[in-house]
Structure 1
Amino acid sequence: MQYHPITDSFKLITLQRELLKQPEFKYIYPSLDSYLTTMENQGVPAYRDLDILLSYLINVIGNAKGTQTRFRNEAERYMLFCWTDKHKSVLKSNVEDVRDYIDWLWSPPKALIADNTIASRYKAKGDSDVRLVNEAWRPFVLRGAKANRKTNEFISPERAKLAKPKQAYSLNQTSLQNSYASLNVFFKELWETELISRNPVSLVKKSCKYLVKGKIYQPPHTLDDETWQLFVDTLTTAADENPLFEKHRFLVLSLKVLFLRISELSNRDYCIPIFGHFRQDASGEGWVLNVIGKGKKQRLVTVPDAFIDGVLVRYRESLGLSPLPHIDENMPIMPSNKTGHALHQDSLNNMVEEAFDLVIKSLKALGKTQQAHAISGASSHWLRHTGATQALAEINETMLAVELGHASVKTTVEVYVAPAHRDRIKKGVSRKL
């Protein structure tokens, strides 16, 4: 392979780094060892570069999987570009190299683009420790818009036959910004550890011919009242017919009604959401849920009586539990049907996707194709946004900011109220010809 993956999975990179300087490395990573040797023979200090990359991922980026994946992908891709296209160490990079890399990102060779999803870099050989390279891996992946995928699958399947995915590959502005940001962090670390004398990324970004400047107001994605009611009805019917959907119903309603991020119900290294986190407030006025959110910040979310009666009690009874949780109950809120262990975010994301698929099918069956298209690109965060937008009619911005876990009420106002944007639109419509 001209572009060979050089980092293993999130869980194995620490072991990979330990093995890199050991004799066993060439037996456990035979193709990678061969690739690195080839680079060394071409004058590229590949083993040293890889050690730098692995150390950066382990010591600087940390152990959050999503963050690790994002920074790993960019740094690895840039390192491969330096080795293969520039025939040099990443430590010898200059402004022109970074500029050429951005050109490469913007329009990569079609042979370097995976058709649909990110393939794992390595696979285990049988029951051994040997890691074999996955020939399907590519430095780029065609992330087809979810809306297009759902449209082709559920709404207009005839469109799928006309698609030419790789021809449509393009790097959007958000991805380009993320690439610059990730690469800048990598080079900043190289500079701070005195491995390079300057960081060329910031210089290149200032003159990038692809970046569009400015930021416009983007209203939060929400479900309209009719679609949300159909969501509730569809999931309730599905759960009545098949108990497996009780978990889907509870998850979706929790995200919307309690304004939760999906990670806040997921199994994380530092927190497992348990039923004991639901409790009656000391005031005796109602129930609250103790949530550990972004940045490991705790907050209390108020739990409406309607949620207790119509969602929590039903869900717990489906699990064979008492109607209401008690304060010392340590059962996970979202347990696996097989093991009983708390589910991770990937599993919860899949459940939300399945729930949205049911609603899209319901809308299509009702002849509401436009509404089906409108939610074909939806994600779990749409539910949090929907709940927050609806709540503005009942509580003020300050209370909502606390419920959402925003550090400042300014964030809440800018996202959900956007007074400056709305005032400008009101004035704009009355301009004369």
Structure 2
Amino acid sequence: MAPIALIDNLEHLPNPFTQFETIAGSLSQHSALLRKPEYRRDLQLALCFIYSYNGSQATFNSYRREVERLLLWSWHMANSPTHELRREQIEEFIHFCIEPPEDWIGTKNVARFKLHMGERTPNKEWRPFVAHVSKLAFKNGDTPKTKTHALSQAAIRATFSILSSYYGFLMQEDAVQQNPVALIRQKSKFVKKEISRKQIRRISNLQWDYVIETAELLAEEDPNTHERTLFIMNALLGMYLRISELVADERSAPIMGDFTKDADGHWWFKVLSKGNKERLVAVSDDMLNSLTRYRRFRGLPSLPTVAENTALIPKNRGQGAMTSTRQVRNIVQFCFDQAYQRMCADGMQADAEDLRVATVHWLRHTGISEDVKIRPKEHVREDAGHASMATTDKYIDTEYRERHASGRKKSLRPH
């Protein structure tokens, strides 16, 4: 049978440390199990663990997804609370996640709970797993099918990581004596070892020229809509911003005052990045010109002041900052699509293909990849907010160029 959702969105979830009885009382579909003390305790511990990550919506969602899957499988397939699972059962669960039954797989993202008669009730269309198709396949008319569902290697690694943290929490709460996830020694049968260094996904300089020129043309044709588009495109590439660093969320709301000038007259952009860590990004002259153009269009002085709290990226309608990462994705995708069409019209379809599959994050990769060629990598690392130099080193293509150059002349008929 299709499982029923357990854990609502963060904004609708009462604090389980103080209001657990309210949450448990609302889960009437699971009431038979929750009458048993061991399952009731299991849910409370899981909720408290997940709620501890309420400082970041994205992190909360990731931890909820993995722990909720485990709870549903453990309760309904293994007939056991999660704190009684052993190593071999965790392995069974991982196998289950890799090949879940079709009843557990959806073909679109839907809300876990819906509002009905003033109460939050589980959505019958929700499933713990969702089948997807690639961006290119979707554009070609393909649709997701439950039979083609597959977990990526990154998803499997996330499952191991989050469940290990969960059982670490249960150990701290004296609910378990050992971490069954950490006892799985042969993780290699689930997670493949990656090649030493994967190539970075980015767009070419020619593609970027078309993309930014497209944004400029759009801004000239319809400035009310696309001056913001042009600024977003420049900020994503020129300051290596992640999409979450442009929009307002529960952690922060980017404002014009985040652009600051130091005592030497140099401009910086303050960013709250992953892990709630602040970083300063050096603002280039070109980026400062882009900011100036954008501010003049919005009727603001050419450059911001320290105390200015004007939203960096405003909503389409109404007051305040943009809060939707999906809206930014749509803006970037529109530019990619328009640039692709222009390149094809200019007879460069082969050169344009990457734009059909590129994502917003490719712009960050592109900006870093270009800068690391001409700037000290320590400076690029600080601007990008990389935790270690090893991450920045991945963007240096010298090794690949030399390796390919040495292999390009190899003969199929050795002398």
Query: If the length of structure 2 is used for normalisation, what is the TM-score?
Result: 0.89
Larger deviation, residues 174-183 vs 200-209: 200-209
Q: Is the 8 A contact 2:16 2:51 kept in 1?
A: no
Residues in 2 aligned to 1:427 and 1:367: alpha-carbon distance in whole angstroms: 32
Determine which of 141, 152, 157 is the counterpart of 2:130: 141
Aligned residue identity for 2:322: L
Matches of 2:154 and 2:279 in 1, distance apart? Answer: 30
The residue that corresponds to 1:48 in the other structure is: 41
CA 1:359–1:418 in 2, change beyond 3 Å: closer, same or farther?
Answer: closer
Q: Which residue does 1:390 correspond to in 2? A: 370
Q: 1:396 Cα deviation (Å)? A: 2.4
The alpha-carbon distance between structure 1 residues 287 and 207, as it changes in their structure 2 partners (threshold 3 A), is closer
Q: Which residue of 80, 83, 96 corresponds with 1:88?
A: 80
Partner of 2:50 in structure 1?
57
Structure 1: how far apart are the matches of 2:346 and 2:32? 60
Letter of the structure 1 residue corresponding to residue 33 of structure 2:
M
Are 2:108 and 1:108 equivalent residues in the alignment?
no
Identify the range of structure 1 (275-284 vs 401-410) with the bigger mean alpha-carbon deviation: 401-410
Q: Distance in 1 between matches of 2:151 and 2:388?
A: 32
Q: Partner residue of 2:242?
A: 261
- Cα distance change on mapping 1:79 and 1:25 into 2, 3 Å: closer
Residue 370 of structure 1 pairs with residue 339 of structure 2: no
Partner of 2:394: 415
Distance 1:326 1:270 in 2: 22
C-alpha contact 2:16 2:44 (8 A) present in aligned 1: no
Q: Does 1:21 align with 2:15?
A: no
Q: What is the CA deviation profile of residues 15-70 of structure 1, one whole-angstrom value per residue up to 9, with x for unaligned ones?
A: 56755424x964xx3xx32x2223357x68432221111111113x3421111111
Q: Which is further off, 185-194 or 8-17?
A: 8-17
Whether the aligned pair in 2 keeps the contact of 1:14 and 1:54 (CA below 8 Å) is: no
Q: Quick one: structure 1 residues 207 and 337, their matched pair in 2 at CA, closer, same or farther if it must change by over 3 Å?
A: closer
Q: Match for residue 314 of structure 1?
A: 293
C-alpha distance in 1, partners of 2:297/2:225?
A: 9
Q: Tell me whether 1:288 sits opposite 2:282 in the alignment.
A: no
Q: Work out the CA distance in 2 between the residues paired with 1:402 and 1:45.
A: 48
Aligned AA (2:40): Y
Specify the alignment match of 2:231 in structure 1. 250
Deviation, structure 1 residue 5: 0.5
Runs of at least 5 residues in structure 1 that lack an aligned partner in the other structure: none
CA distance in 2, matches of 1:278, 1:393: 26
Superposed CA deviations along residues 126-171 of structure 1, whole A, max 9, x for unmatched, are 5x2x11211110010013222322x32xxxx5xx3xx663232212
1:171 to 147, 151, 176: 151
The AA in structure 2 aligned to 1:293 is S
CA contact (8 A) 1:335 1:342 kept: yes
Equivalent position amino acid for 1:276 in 2: G
Task: Compute the displacement of 1:74 (Å).
Answer: 0.7
* C-alpha RMSD of the superposition: 2.6
Aligned-partner Cα distance in 2 for 1:112–1:96 = 22
Q: How has the CA–CA distance of structure 1 residues 183 and 364 changed in structure 2, closer, same or farther, with 3 Å as cutoff?
A: farther
Native 8 Å contact 1:122 1:132 kept in 2: yes
What residue number does 2:33 align with?
39
Aligned 8 A contact 1:259 1:388 in 2? yes
Q: Could you tell me how far apart the structure 2 residues matched to 1:207 and 1:288 are?
A: 44
Specify every segment of 5 or more residues in structure 2 that has no aligned partner in the other structure, as ranges.
none
Shift in Å, 1:254? 0.9
- Number of residues of Structure 1 aligned to a counterpart in Structure 2: 410
Contact (CA 8 Å) 1:39, 1:45: kept in 2 or not?
no
* Structure 2 residue matching 1:279: 3-state secondary structure: strand
Sort the Cα spacing of 1:305 and 1:312 in 2 relative to 1 into closer, same or farther, 3 A.
same
The Cα of 1:271 is off from its aligned counterpart by 2.9
> 1:320-359 alignment to 2 at 5 Å?
320-344=299-323, 346=325, 347-359=327-339
Q: Which amino acid aligns with 1:64?
A: S
